[in-house]
């Protein structure tokens, strides 16, 4: 149960003055549904103003606060021309206060001729005029503006203004309670950090960089504590030791010998599952590194030991593909592989459920459907979670509670994760890395082509399809207008243009299609009935069509390196030479240029992940706490790199000394876990 001291912070945002149904909608767009959310809605930046006696003390381009006396109003000659308020300072320096549109009516009321007003705004020069366009604040005396010398700038949504958000933030801060200190005293003293409530206040006022570090550290500490509670809980749980005899694995007929990385990873997994303590291991593998083979070997160990195995995929497309691959590879072993998704109904579903219950199904592949309450297993010994970053830690815990005892868990990701971030995202897991590609995998010829050569690219696709091979065309959007810029490629528009050229050989797949339509299009492409697949990044992972040997990525500079690498990995999966064409826009930033150059230079996903981290920070590389949510709301990449090792050690020492979080500092740590909504970590302490 959440500590009572946090009740005011978890109150609904509508409990704040001025928040009603109309304002609630834009707040919801920003995820600000509770007082706590608004308190942690930190400023992006601050406007810092210089209070001057006269304009001689100011610099053009500077934000100033200055007293000016109104001389005259110069009305706009047309609706498009501005209204100018001509004013002067104490030395007679003239400055125009410029207002456009309907604001000109407000200007007449704000500035009576002959009276002095204090102005806050950015000083600019237009021809011979000094001017301030749409002043930020106007007051009758200087005292009214001294509180605006440092002003926060908050992220906004349509319907919100800076003053409104600042007012709500102040209310949230006023409601913030005194909380017990959860940071180790030595760490607190070494950094000279304020207490939690004071740090929050300082961050909103822009008065202390250290205060923002303090809040970032809180978040990193909460994450580290929760992950360590998972690991500690896992060690306490009784699982089943799975010791295979190798009889099934010996029957596998693989198309290529195992790499050293695969052999090493299988050995690590085999050692883990032979113990009674449930395995909790992450398998990181670059595109095409052979994760599926390692997963199959792990599942066959479970079956050899008399247990069942389950593989969870985030999408139905990927689940069906895994099912076909595993069924074909496992055919010589005689192992029964089945598929279960949310679309399976009636007798077919009942037959699968019965097979899982009586043990006649050895390996089940599916989506979340395989862990619904109505699904029971005779003896679930191993759970494999593919594309692990799509699932949160709390979801992993749920998925591993299906066995009579806790099953072993192997999580896999095809997204190489920089070493810097592995601890932040997977601190509760052991990690295996597949950093070698199987022999025979050809390098993908990667080229960068300007968008103005689009017609040449389409002609090249025509020649490519004539050879009987297939191709992908990836666009960054679904429809025009989803972004402010109107020159971005839209998948539907590109599909229409390509369909006009290639007819029924073209199919379209994007995230807004109904699942049955998406699956039908994918199946047509996989069977070779369609030759060209136009798609959004829905095909980023899991799509495996060996005959597809050409990848076109439009507006490639808009994608991150890791994502480009994943998309490129959809080709080069067969014996034929494959090509990836990166179509770049006309306006290419320096970062975009470097990103595309790196794609040409290397196919090492781990190196590209590190470079992606350097070029754009950790946002998209940090994975998700729950699908769609970034795991860290406050801590940025630099803070993660600097503060996470300290937070990790702090959490480890606390768990070692007080694993039940029963001491005064342990109780404070429970408050911290609830504050950052790692409440599943506290549930583990209760045996939940």
For 296-310, what is the HEC assignment? HHHHHHHHHCCCEEE
Judgement on whether residues 307 and 360 belong to the same structural domain of the protein: yes
Judgement on whether residues 54 and 11 belong to the same structural domain of the protein: no
Range of the domain at 138: 47-153
Angstrom distance (rounded) from CA 369 to CA 567: 27
| Residue 597 CB-density burial (10 A; 0-12 exposed, 13-18 middle, 19+ buried) | exposed
What contacts 185, CB < 8 A, 6 or more positions away? none
Angstrom distance (rounded) from CA 84 to CA 133: 9
b/e sequence 262-288, b meaning 16+ C-beta within 10 Å: bebbbebbbebbeeeebbbbbbbbbbb
Residues of the chain with pLDDT under 70: 388-403, 418-420, 423-428, 440, 477-489, 538-543, 616-631, 680, 686-688
Query: In whole angstroms, what separates CA 262 from the centre of its chain?
Result: 28
Contact criterion met (CB below 8 Å) for 594 and 615: yes
The answer to whether residue 460 sits within a structural domain is: yes
The answer to whether residue 123 sits within a structural domain is: yes
| Residue appearing with tokens 């090509």 | 579
Q: What angle do CA 594, 596, 597 make, to 5 degrees?
A: 60
The pLDDT of residue 631 is 59
The answer to whether residue 220 sits within a structural domain is: no
Among the candidates 386, 410, 434, a domain finishes at 434
| Residue 181 CB-density burial (10 A; 0-12 exposed, 13-18 middle, 19+ buried) | middle
Looking up residue 484, the CATH number of its domain turns out to be 3.40.50.300
Judgement on whether residues 6 and 144 belong to the same structural domain of the protein: no
Angstrom distance (rounded) from CA 416 to CA 437: 13
- The torsion of the CA quartet 583, 560, 391, 417, rounded to 10 degrees, works out to 130
b/e sequence 646-680, b meaning 16+ C-beta within 10 Å: bbbebbeebbeeeeebeeebbebbbbbbbbbbbbb
**For 278-329, how does the pLDDT look when each residue is reduced to its tens digit (9 = 90+)?**
998 989 887 778 899 999 999 999 999 999 999 998 888 788 889 999 999 9
DSSP state at residue 135: -
Among the candidates 393, 415, 434, a domain finishes at 434
The answer to whether residue 197 sits within a structural domain is: no
The pLDDT of residue 487 is 34
Three-class DSSP category at 651: helix
Judgement on whether residues 293 and 422 belong to the same structural domain of the protein: yes
The answer to whether residue 77 sits within a structural domain is: yes
b/e sequence 154-177, b meaning 16+ C-beta within 10 Å: beeeeebeeebbbebbebbbebbe
The pLDDT of residue 481 is 43
The pLDDT of residue 127 is 87
Looking up residue 121, the CATH number of its domain turns out to be 2.40.50.140
What contacts 508, CB < 8 A, 6 or more positions away? 491, 492, 495, 521, 533, 534, 535
What contacts 54, CB < 8 A, 6 or more positions away? 66, 89, 90, 91, 93
**For 445-502, how does the pLDDT look when each residue is reduced to its tens digit (9 = 90+)?**
999 999 999 999 999 999 999 999 999 999 875 544 444 333 344 788 899 999 999 9
Q: What is the mean pLDDT of the chain?
A: 87
The pLDDT of residue 405 is 85
Contact criterion met (CB below 8 Å) for 288 and 569: yes
Judgement on whether residues 121 and 163 belong to the same structural domain of the protein: no
| Residue appearing with tokens 């014996």 | 575
Judgement on whether residues 452 and 346 belong to the same structural domain of the protein: no
Judgement on whether residues 80 and 15 belong to the same structural domain of the protein: no
Looking up residue 35, the CATH number of its domain turns out to be 1.10.150
- The torsion of the CA quartet 381, 387, 392, 398, rounded to 10 degrees, works out to -20
The pLDDT of residue 178 is 96
Judgement on whether residues 423 and 472 belong to the same structural domain of the protein: no
SS (H, E, C) 43-64: CCEEEECEECCCHHHCCCCCEE
The pLDDT of residue 53 is 95
- Structural domain count of the chain: 4
The answer to whether residue 241 sits within a structural domain is: no
The pLDDT of residue 414 is 76
The answer to whether residue 642 sits within a structural domain is: no
Judgement on whether residues 540 and 429 belong to the same structural domain of the protein: no
Among the candidates 550, 577, 602, a domain finishes at 602
Judgement on whether residues 303 and 345 belong to the same structural domain of the protein: yes
The pLDDT of residue 573 is 78
The answer to whether residue 65 sits within a structural domain is: yes
Cβ neighbours around 631 below 10 Å, total? 20
The pLDDT of residue 199 is 97
The pLDDT of residue 392 is 60
The pLDDT of residue 488 is 41
Judgement on whether residues 281 and 399 belong to the same structural domain of the protein: yes
The pLDDT of residue 484 is 35
Long-range contacts of 141-147 (CB under 8 A, 24+ apart): 142/51, 142/65, 142/67, 142/118, 144/118, 145/51, 145/65, 145/118, 145/120, 146/51, 146/65
DSSP secondary structure string for all residues of 281-338: EEEEE-TTS-HHHHHHHHHHHHHHTT-EEEEE-SSHHHHHHHHHHHHHHHGGGT--EE
Query: Which stretch of DSSP H or E encloses residue 98?
Result: strand 94-99
Judgement on whether residues 581 and 489 belong to the same structural domain of the protein: yes
């Amino acid at each position: 149960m959440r500590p009572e001291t946090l009740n005011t912070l978890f109150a609904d945002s509508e409990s704040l003055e001025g928040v009603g149904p109309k304002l609630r909608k834009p707040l919801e767009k920003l995820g600000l549904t509770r007082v706590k959310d608004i308190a942690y809605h930190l400023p992006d930046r601050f406007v810092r103003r210089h209070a001057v006696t006269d304009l001689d003390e100011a610099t053009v381009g500077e934000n100033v606060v200055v007293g000016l006396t109104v001389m005259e109003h110069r009305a706009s000659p047309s609706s498009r021309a501005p209204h100018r308020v001509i004013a002067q300072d104490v030395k007679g320096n003239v400055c125009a206060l410029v207002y456009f549109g309907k604001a000109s009516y407000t200007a007449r009321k704000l500035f009576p001729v002959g009276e002095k007003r204090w102005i806050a705004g950015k000083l600019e020069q237009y021809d011979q005029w000094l001017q301030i366009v749409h002043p930020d604040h106007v007051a009758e005396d200087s005292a009214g503006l001294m509180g605006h010398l440092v002003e926060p700038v908050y992220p906004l949504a349509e319907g919100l203004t800076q003053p409104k958000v600042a007012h709500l933030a102040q209310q949230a801060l006023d409601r913030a309670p005194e909380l017990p200190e959860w940071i180790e005293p030595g760490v607190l003293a070494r950094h000279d950090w304020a207490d939690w409530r004071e740090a929050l206040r300082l961050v909103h006022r822009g008065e202390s960089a250290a205060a923002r570090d303090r809040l970032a550290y809180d978040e990193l500490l909460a994450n580290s504590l929760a992950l360590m509670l998972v690991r500690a809980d896992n060690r306490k749980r009784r699982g089943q030791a799975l010791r295979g005899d190798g009889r099934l694995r010996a029957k596998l007929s693989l198309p290529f010998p195992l790499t050293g990385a695969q052999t090493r990873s299988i050995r690590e997994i085999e050692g883990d599952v032979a113990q009674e303590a449930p395995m909790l291991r992450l398998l990181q593998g670059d595109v095409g590194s052979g994760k599926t083979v390692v997963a199959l070997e792990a599942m066959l160990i479970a079956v050899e030991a008399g247990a069942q195995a389950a593989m969870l995929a985030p999408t139905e497309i990927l689940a069906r593909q895994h099912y076909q691959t595993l069924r074909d590879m496992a055919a010589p072993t005689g192992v029964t592989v089945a598929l279960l998704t949310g679309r399976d109904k009636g007798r077919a579903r009942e037959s699968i459920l019965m097979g899982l219950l009586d043990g006649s199904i050895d390996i089940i592949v599916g989506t979340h459907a395989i862990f619904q309450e109505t699904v029971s297993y005779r003896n679930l010994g191993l759970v494999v979670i593919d594309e692990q970053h799509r699932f949160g830690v709390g979801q992993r815990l749920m998925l591993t509670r299906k066995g009579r005892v806790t099953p072993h868990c192997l999580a896999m990701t095809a997204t190489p994760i920089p070493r810097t971030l592995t601890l932040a995202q997977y601190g509760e897991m052991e990690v295996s890395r597949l950093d070698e590609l199987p022999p025979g995998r050809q390098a993908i010829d990667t080229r960068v082509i300007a968008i103005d050569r689009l017609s040449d690219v389409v002609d090249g696709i025509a020649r490519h399809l004539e050879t009987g091979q297939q191709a992908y065309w990836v666009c960054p959007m679904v429809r025009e207008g989803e972004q402010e810029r109107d020159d971005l490629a839209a998948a539907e528009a590109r599909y229409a243009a390509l369909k006009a050229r290639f007819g029924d050989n073209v199919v379209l797949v994007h995230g807004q299609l109904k699942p049955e339509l998406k699956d039908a299009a994918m199946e047509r492409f996989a069977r070779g009935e369609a030759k060209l697949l136009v798609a959004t990044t829905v095909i980023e992972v899991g799509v495996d069509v060996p005959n597809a040997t050409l990848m076109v990525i439009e507006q490639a500079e808009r994608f991150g390196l890791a994502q480009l690498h994943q998309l490129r990995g959809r080709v080069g999966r067969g014996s034929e030479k494959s090509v990836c064409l990166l179509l770049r826009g006309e306006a290419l930033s320096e970062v975009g240029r470097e990103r595309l150059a790196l794609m040409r230079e290397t196919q090492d996903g781990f190196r590209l992940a590190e470079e992606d981290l350097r070029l754009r920070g950790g946002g998209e590389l940090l994975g998700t706490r729950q699908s769609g949510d970034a795991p860290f709301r406050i801590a940025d990449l630099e803070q993660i790199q600097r503060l996470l090792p300290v937070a990790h050690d702090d959490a480890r020492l606390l768990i070692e000394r007080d694993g039940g979080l029963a001491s005064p500092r342990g109780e404070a740590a429970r408050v911290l876990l609830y504050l950052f909504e790692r409440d599943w970590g506290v549930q583990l302490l209760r045996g939940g």
